[in-house]
């Protein structure tokens, strides 16, 4: 349901604030702030419910929260004035059902193989693991070719001709791959190795929410003044520093020395990248493509999360089986540290792609774009 609600919300914001402005920057900063706030407060509420009752209670609590927001949405979301089309075979074809099946089956099989390869009876040599990897990869390739020629593609390939959009998506993908897997395994590390309760873990994640508010407020005030390429690079380096800190963390390390600053830098990376990417979609894409572009942003982040969890699980299991006593890390910490080093690698690669961006400021009277020489000119 998140995938169904976020792109229309982004499209609505882009339609309401058609022209670049500081107010538009503030609106999209508030929109982006939902990411860290939702993550942290969702974790806290789930931790409280789990501590008082059991793990099932957290899902009931989330269901109640969603019900409240659904009722609020009925009275607060602006009415859609776009002419409606009757549901016919032609409109059904516009949903690209074959493309949907190809991408879900392809990504699902590929991720399932990645996450199950180490735990299969014969490891990566298991026939069904090899089959899922090959079939999943082929289905993903088939999806790309299908989208190139289908008249109503789920993901219009023409949108990738915009160089900055493509680069932003690659940088965002690598950043979210590192962020998702690192924060998940760090929370798991706190509970499994440090033996913290879910509520204690959630409370220690609270700095992410506070930092998220600060970063989004700052972003709203500087995106029309500072090159957004510089902001993206700042986000990439924020990720790199954050995950390096937790990668060198040990079982006896202080939370305040490693995890606390890591949370702050990770939020800087996530929020700056989301702000720049979301505002670029809203400012540079035609109005009729903004929801599509927004859905691509959400699709990429969700798919990369699935892939990153598959890779992270494979790394965790492989290192966990072969971990030996000795070195900087104890046996319990070594598999977690290996996952964090994967996050470091992914965020490091994102810096390379961010260097090729040519985005200037966004949200002023005129959108600015850097030329190949690095100077800013009005777009």
CA distance 65 to 55: 16
List, for residues 175-216, the tens digit of each pLDDT value.
989 998 998 999 999 999 999 988 888 889 889 888 988 998
Please indicate, yes or no, whether residues 278 and 357 belong to a single structural domain of this protein.
yes
CB atoms closer than 10 angstroms to residue 163: 11
- Beta carbons of 333 and 247 less than 8 angstroms apart: no
Please indicate, yes or no, whether residues 272 and 363 belong to a single structural domain of this protein.
yes
Please indicate, yes or no, whether residues 49 and 135 belong to a single structural domain of this protein.
no
Please indicate, yes or no, whether residues 319 and 236 belong to a single structural domain of this protein.
yes
List, for residues 59-84, the tens digit of each pLDDT value.
899 899 889 988 998 888 877 766 77
Q: List, in order, residues 6 or more apart from 99 with CB less than 8 Å away.
A: 143, 146, 147, 150, 153, 154, 155
According to DSSP H, which parts of 53-162 are helical?
Answer: 55-76, 89-93, 97-116, 127-149
Please indicate, yes or no, whether residues 100 and 198 belong to a single structural domain of this protein.
no
Q: How wide is the angle at C-alpha 326 spanned by C-alphas 320 and 332, nearest 5°?
A: 35
Question: Mean pLDDT throughout 112-135?
Answer: 83
Please indicate, yes or no, whether residues 28 and 144 belong to a single structural domain of this protein.
no
CATH number of the domain bearing residue 41: 1.20.1250.20
List, for residues 1-27, the tens digit of each pLDDT value.
566 677 677 777 777 777 777 787 788
Question: Mean pLDDT throughout 120-136?
Answer: 86
Question: Mean pLDDT throughout 256-285?
Answer: 88
Please indicate, yes or no, whether residues 8 and 136 belong to a single structural domain of this protein.
no
Please indicate, yes or no, whether residues 167 and 229 belong to a single structural domain of this protein.
yes
Q: List, in order, residues 6 or more apart from 143 with CB less than 8 Å away.
A: 99, 102, 103, 106
Please indicate, yes or no, whether residues 235 and 366 belong to a single structural domain of this protein.
yes
Please indicate, yes or no, whether residues 311 and 359 belong to a single structural domain of this protein.
yes
pLDDT value of position 15: 72
- Beta carbons of 301 and 172 less than 8 angstroms apart: yes
Confidence class for position 293, pLDDT limits 50, 70, 90:
low
Question: Mean pLDDT throughout 321-327?
Answer: 70
Please indicate, yes or no, whether residues 86 and 104 belong to a single structural domain of this protein.
no
Six-digit token string for 353: 């792609």
Of the residues 116, 135, 153, the one at which a domain ends: 153
Number of domains in the chain: 2
Burial of 295 (0-12, 13-18, 19+ CB in 10 A): buried
Q: Considering only 16-20, 43-47, 315-319, 372-376, which range has the smallest mean pLDDT?
A: 372-376
Six-digit token string for 288: 């009729």
Question: Mean pLDDT throughout 272-284?
Answer: 82
Question: Mean pLDDT throughout 307-330?
Answer: 80
Domain that holds residue 113: 96-153
Helix axes 260-284, 163-192, angle to 10 degrees: 150
List, for residues 20-52, the tens digit of each pLDDT value.
777 877 887 888 777 767 877 887 888 888 888
List, for residues 236-247, the tens digit of each pLDDT value.
999 999 999 999
Confidence class for position 367, pLDDT limits 50, 70, 90:
very low
- Beta carbons of 269 and 179 less than 8 angstroms apart: yes
Please indicate, yes or no, whether residues 186 and 80 belong to a single structural domain of this protein.
yes
Of the residues 110, 131, 153, the one at which a domain ends: 153
Of the residues 153, 178, 194, the one at which a domain ends: 153
């Amino acid at each position: 349901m998140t995938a169904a609600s976020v792109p229309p919300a982004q499209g609505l914001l882009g339609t309401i604030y058609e022209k670049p402005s500081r107010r538009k920057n503030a609106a999209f900063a508030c929109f982006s702030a939902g990411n860290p706030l939702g993550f942290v407060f969702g974790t806290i509420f789930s931790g409280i419910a789990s501590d008082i009752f059991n793990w099932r209670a957290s899902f009931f609590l989330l269901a109640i929260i969603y019900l409240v927001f659904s009722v609020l949405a009925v009275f607060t979301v602006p009415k859609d004035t776009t002419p409606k089309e009757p549901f016919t075979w032609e409109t059904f074809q516009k949903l690209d059902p074959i493309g949907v099946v190809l991408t879900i089956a392809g990504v699902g099989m590929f991720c399932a193989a990645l996450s199950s390869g180490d735990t299969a009876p014969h490891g990566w040599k298991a026939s069904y693991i090899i089959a899922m990897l090959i079939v999943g990869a082929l289905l993903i390739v088939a999806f790309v070719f299908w989208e190139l020629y289908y008249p109503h593609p789920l993901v219009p390939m023409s949108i990738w001709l915009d160089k900055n959009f493509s680069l932003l998506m690659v940088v965002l993908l690598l950043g979210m791959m590192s962020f998702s897997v690192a924060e998940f395994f760090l929370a798991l590390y706190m509970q499994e190795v440090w033996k913290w309760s879910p509520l204690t873990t959630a409370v220690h994640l609270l700095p992410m929410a506070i930092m998220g508010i600060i970063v989004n407020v700052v972003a709203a005030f500087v995106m029309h003044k500072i090159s957004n390429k510089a902001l993206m690079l700042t986000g990439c380096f924020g990720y790199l520093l954050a995950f390096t800190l937790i990668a060198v963390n040990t079982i006896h390390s202080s939370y305040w020395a490693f995890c606390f600053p890591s949370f702050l830098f990770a939020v800087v990376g996530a929020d700056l990248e989301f702000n720049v990417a979301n505002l670029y979609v809203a400012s540079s894409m035609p109005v009729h493509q903004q929801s599509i572009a927004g859905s691509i942003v959400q699709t990429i982040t969700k798919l990369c999360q699935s892939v990153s969890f598959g890779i992270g699980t494979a790394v965790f299991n492989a290192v966990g089986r072969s971990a030996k006593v000795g070195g900087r890390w104890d046996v319990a910490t070594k598999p977690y540290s290996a996952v964090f080093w994967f996050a470091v690698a992914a965020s490091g690669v994102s810096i390379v792609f961010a260097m090729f961006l040519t985005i200037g400021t966004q949200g002023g009277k005129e959108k600015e774009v850097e030329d190949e020489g690095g100077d800013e000119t009005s777009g």
